[in-house]
């Protein structure tokens, strides 16, 4: 069960004229809480600030946001515990009409959820994934930020019910692979990491950014590039990442089965060294 908070008060509803509902006029973040602390907070905060700046939404200051987050965790009884925290920021309430109200105060909501526990085999044996028919809309003007508007992802996630399929890959309008529905994608070719560019669509995931930063520091060769489906199918290794599960090696994706992920394991070890510990040791 989730608990939601606003201005340190528990809430279970939102005003019907909130522009988040009426126009999808907002953003969100999904943050892993470990021992009561938000993991990769600087990256989440940065993406949220960037998004609000690009949309002209007045976000509270970073320390105020962190205070709200901490209050929500406390109220939900998650002091020094693990959890998943979702922040929703909307432009606030307003009259009918697309024009942003000049003095709207943002609506900031904190949702506290149980941490999702993933089976150890997903990390050890890898996950099977698929290609989705639902594609991501092409919109360079908002690519990278995490919009409330997720209908493309919803359509994609609705395509399969097989619980053995952990994730679906989504293409952009030109047929390049962008990401999973809820994760970013890396492939390995030889000794090089490659991840799709997030320029026309897709979310610039915090775990993706963290991995790229670690790769840069540790001299792991990497490239941010256009990736065609065929490049995924013929990759030496494939892995997915997001803020919650960390890294999942991919065992099957319309490919011959993959059961060895040396570079993926190395990246995961680097993540662990940086404090991002998920899955079995």
Residue 120 or residue 151: which is nearer to a copy of itself going by CB? 151
For 130, residues 6+ apart whose C-beta sits below 8 A from its C-beta are 159, 160, 165, 167, 168, 169, 253, 254
Residue 16 or residue 61: which is nearer to a copy of itself going by CB? 16
Least Å from the CB of residue 170 to a copy of itself: 11
Residue 24 or residue 70: which is nearer to a copy of itself going by CB? 24
Query: Rounded distance, CA 137 to CA 240, Å?
Result: 21
Interface residues with a copy of itself (CB under 8 A) are 2, 4, 11-25, 55-56, 84, 86, 88, 91, 95-100, 109, 111, 113, 134-135, 137-142, 147-158, 173, 181-182, 201
Nearest-CA neighbor of 241 among 171, 184, 180, 169?
A: 184
Query: Rounded distance, CA 184 to CA 198, Å?
Result: 10
Least Å from the CB of residue 228 to a copy of itself: 19
Least Å from the CB of residue 189 to a copy of itself: 29
Residue 142 or residue 255: which is nearer to a copy of itself going by CB? 142
Query: Rounded distance, CA 144 to CA 245, Å?
Result: 20
Least Å from the CB of residue 30 to a copy of itself: 8
Least Å from the CB of residue 137 to a copy of itself: 4
Query: Rounded distance, CA 68 to CA 45, Å?
Result: 13
Ramachandran assignment for 175, one of left (phi > 0), alpha (psi -120 to 50 degrees), beta (any other): left
Nearest-CA neighbor of 267 among 172, 206, 191, 153?
A: 191
Residue 84 or residue 129: which is nearer to a copy of itself going by CB? 84
Least Å from the CB of residue 1 to a copy of itself: 9
Chain Cα centroid distance, residue 175: 21
Residue 45 or residue 183: which is nearer to a copy of itself going by CB? 183
Least Å from the CB of residue 90 to a copy of itself: 8
Nearest-CA neighbor of 239 among 214, 203, 257, 265?
A: 265
Contact 238, 249 (CB under 8 A): yes
- Residue by residue, what is the 3-state secondary structure of 191-237? CEEEEECCCCCCECCHHHHHHHHHHHHCCCCEEEECCCHHHHHCCCE
Residue 83 or residue 215: which is nearer to a copy of itself going by CB? 83
């Amino acid at each position: 069960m989730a608990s939601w908070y606003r201005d340190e008060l528990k809430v279970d509803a939102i005003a019907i004229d909130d522009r988040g509902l009426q126009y999808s006029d907002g953003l969100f973040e999904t943050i892993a809480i470990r021992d009561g602390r938000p993991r990769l907070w600087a990256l989440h905060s940065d993406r949220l600030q960037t998004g609000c700046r690009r949309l002209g939404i007045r976000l509270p200051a970073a320390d105020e946001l962190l205070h709200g987050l901490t209050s929500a965790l406390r109220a939900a009884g998650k002091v020094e515990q693990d959890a998943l925290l979702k922040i929703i920021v909307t432009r606030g309430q307003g009259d009918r009409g697309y024009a942003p109200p000049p003095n709207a105060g943002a609506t900031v909501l904190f949702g506290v959820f149980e941490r999702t526990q993933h089976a150890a085999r997903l990390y050890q044996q890898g996950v099977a994934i698929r290609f989705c028919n639902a594609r991501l809309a092409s919109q360079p003007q908002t690519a990278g930020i995490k919009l409330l508007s997720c209908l493309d992802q919803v359509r994609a996630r609705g395509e399969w019910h097989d619980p053995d399929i952990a994730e679906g890959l989504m293409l952009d309008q030109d047929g390049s692979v962008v990401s999973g529905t809820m994760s970013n994608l890396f492939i390995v070719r030889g000794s090089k990491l490659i991840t799709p560019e997030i320029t026309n669509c897709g979310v610039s995931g915090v775990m993706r950014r963290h991995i790229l930063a670690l790769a840069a520091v540790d001299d792991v060769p990497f490239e941010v590039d256009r990736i065609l489906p065929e490049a995924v199918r013929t990759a030496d290794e494939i892995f997915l990442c997001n803020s919650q599960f960390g890294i999942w090696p991919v065992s099957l994706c319309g490919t011959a089965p993959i059961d060895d992920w040396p570079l993926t394991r190395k990246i995961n070890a680097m993540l662990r060294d940086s404090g991002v510990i998920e899955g079995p040791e």
